[in-house]
Chain A
Amino acid sequence: MDFVLAIVVGLFIATGSYFLLSRSLIRMLLGLTVFGNGVNLLIFTAGRLTREVAPIVPTGLDQPDGPIANPLPQALILTAIVIGFAMFSFLLVLAYRAYQSLDADNTDTMRVAEPEDSPRPPLSY
């Protein structure tokens, strides 16, 4: 199973990177999300996959009975998903707000902070 997921991770990262190369903010956002999900899947796979054994210690024992699924990557991913979702929501609102006040979804036309016709540097000292 691991190698299938590894290929899927590669596909996610590639798709995310491709979207990020776009000039449209919405596509870039989608790219970031797909990229982030690829990363989450990678952490999941990095913890090694064990099928259908919940990491629960049975009553009366001090350690689990036989091999169990690794619970740590799940905790890591849960944190990363929450954070990633918060960032995504903020950037989505920011992109919408920028669309409203800058009238631009294309990063090439978004030149308020770095004006296109910026002056030549002064020659005097």
Chain B
Amino acid sequence: MATATPSVDLSEAMITTVTPAADWVIVLPLVLALMGAALLLMLRQKRGIAPIVAMLAVAGIIACEVMLLAKVLQVGPVSMTMGKWLPPFGISFTADIFGAGFALAASIVTLILLVYVQGEREPGDGSDGFYSLVLLLLAGVTGSFLTGDLFNLYVWFEVMLIASFGLIVIGGQPIQLDGAIKYGFLNFLATSFFLLSLGLTYGLLGTLNMADIILVAPSANPAAMAGVAGLLLLAFGMKAAAFPVNAWLPASYHTPPAAVSALFAGLLTKVGVYAMMRALVVLLPASRDLLEPLLASIAIASLLIAPLGAIAETNLRRALGFFVIGGIGAVIAGIALPSLHGIGGAGFYILHAILTMTALYLVAGLIERLTGQTDSRRMGGIYAAHTPISILFFVLMLAAAGVPPFLGFWPKLLLLEAGLAQSGLREGGAVDYLSLAIVVALLANAVLTLIAGSRLWAHIFWRAGPEGELSEHRSGKLQPLSLREARFGLGATTVLVAIVVLAGLMPEDLFTAARMGAGDMIDPSRYIAAFGLAGGTP
């Protein structure tokens, strides 16, 4: 049915030109991940090819994201709108430096993890849908990092959630079901809260497009917007496991196999805290200013309580779960200090946490393989039996605590700089005690994390054997890694740790990128311009 030539000019509301081929790199990662997941589902009875297909798909995603990141670094944020309607009517995908960078880090981590699981799983077996679900999870994570629409963000959150539900129960052990129930209920509640604040945003502003929200929000009722921002803070705080709503994380992250919990620890909470940063710093900066004391208190509490939890915990992966929460506290500290250094530090910290936390859980998986135990009281003597693993764990523990020259030190340096600048201590005059408290909490977090981590290291690796064993002889209970485990498991972990170490030794480019990304977050004019809103550029 050919319609007659329209009598109105459509160019104000519709895209009349074909999308340039180069813009497709922004949606191709998602297309590859979703198509790959569907293909793997169809191929799951065929033995041997599932891991290869999954790795090829992720490699393709990495290639697209490298191109995307190069483009963003060159020309600033890029955007592509689906369908023919211009935003705010069409749904946009928009990548800035942080979004593209985190998406790239997430897919690199996923590729390494796919290699790692070859040592754990039966060779070539994908019949339980594991590879499919990993790709779906990656699709959800990438979509959340790259979307430019609030409702679309909700959809990607749910994609991520249902994929993680599947991954956490694969195997069906009672402990997994227990963890899955706590994880499932609380995360579903968090996304319901997100949907609630989304509905209110739509009611108040009449739009859900991110660029449009930035433009319309200042004219809305500030009290109502602050309420919406508070709800968003609750929803994303629950997803990110920030202090008062963090209980689900140590209750569930240690229950699935180590590879799955590594994926969760590296990606899921980071998406939550990235969404918090995007919503509060970019979309609703006026409401963020109102919520600043609350944000600072949440950051301080998370920073202090998390490592104390790790000190009190004996289960290895549960203790690592508290490290994850501490990292979230550091990112929220950056959100509470909205300067170039603060936001840059928060973004840099997210990158560090994606790499380091995944690597820590991967090493924990190797330790559990080696000892056959999950509790650190029944581990010991690995230093003599398997020195490489002890070195990997030691390096990662220092990186997590933020000891120079490892990766965790640099974002914390930026955050400390931002806190000191905001406190006004150096200029003299009025002192902002809340910023000063954040600085103290960041330093205390580093010391406490170091205590918790080095004690774990001392117990698992340094002492002669499990608790109570006094023998100086090598413990006979350790099972050496099989050839597959050593080749794939240890190999993949070593590669990831090498990335962490190299990035820590050469942080110059990361600093530049963090500064540019933070600049686009604080002054989003380039970000808004990338959308090309209907009715001309603002």
Contacts and interface: CB of A to CB of B under 8 A. Distances in A.
Contact of B200 (A25, A42, A86, A101): A42
Interface in B147-161: 151, 154-155, 158, 161
Interface in A94-122: 94-95, 97-98, 101-102, 107, 110-114, 118-119, 121-122
A80 B172 CA distance: 28
Contact of B312 (A46, A83, A121): A121
A74 interface: no
A87 B162 contact: yes
B202 A39 contact: no
B192 interface: yes
Contact of B199 (A39, A86, A121, A124): A39
Contacts of A95: 181
A113 B179 contact: yes
B505 to A, nearest CB: 30
B178 interface: yes
A47 B208 CA distance: 12
A35 B252 CA distance: 24
A18 interface: no
Contact of A36 (B155, B185, B192, B198): B192
A94 B162 contact: no
A125 interface: yes
Q: How would you classify the secondary structure of chain B's contact residues: helix, strand, loop or mixed?
A: helix
A87 B155 CA distance: 12
Contact of A45 (B184, B198, B203, B455): B203
Interface in B131-176: 151, 154-155, 158, 161-162, 165, 169, 172, 174-175
Interface string B242-260: 0000000011101100000
Contacts, number: 114
Interface residues of A, number: 43
B102 to A, nearest CB: 24
Nearest to B181: A98
B181 to A, nearest CB: 6
Contacts of A79: 151, 155
A54 interface: no
Contacts of B178: 98, 102, 110-113
B289 interface: no
B204 to A, nearest CB: 8
A122 B177 contact: no
A26 B198 CA distance: 27
Contacts of A45: 203
A62 interface: yes
A113 B202 contact: no
A113 B175 contact: yes
B14 interface: no
B196 interface: yes
Contact of A32 (B192, B314, B455): B192
Interface in B185-227: 185, 188-189, 192, 195-196, 198-200, 202-204
Contact of A122 (B151, B200, B250, B314): B314
B458 interface: yes
B311 interface: yes
B6 to A, nearest CB: 7
A4 B161 CA distance: 33
Contacts of A28: 185
A87 B314 contact: no
A113 B254 contact: yes
A110 B199 contact: no
Interface of A: 13, 20, 25, 28, 32, 35-36, 39, 42-43, 45-47, 62, 72-73, 76, 79-80, 83-84, 86-87, 90-91, 94-95, 97-98, 101-102, 107, 110-114, 118-119, 121-122, 124-125
25 contacts: A20-B189, A25-B181, A32-B185, A35-B192, A39-B196, A42-B199, A43-B198, A43-B199, A45-B203, A76-B199, A76-B202, A80-B154, A83-B155, A86-B162, A90-B184, A91-B181, A94-B180, A95-B181, A97-B172, A101-B177, A113-B175, A121-B314, A122-B455, A122-B459, A125-B455
| Nearest 3 A/B pairs, CB to CB | A46-B203, A43-B199, A112-B178
Given A113-B255, A122-B377, 7 more contacts: A39-B195, A46-B200, A73-B202, A90-B162, A95-B181, A97-B177, A112-B178
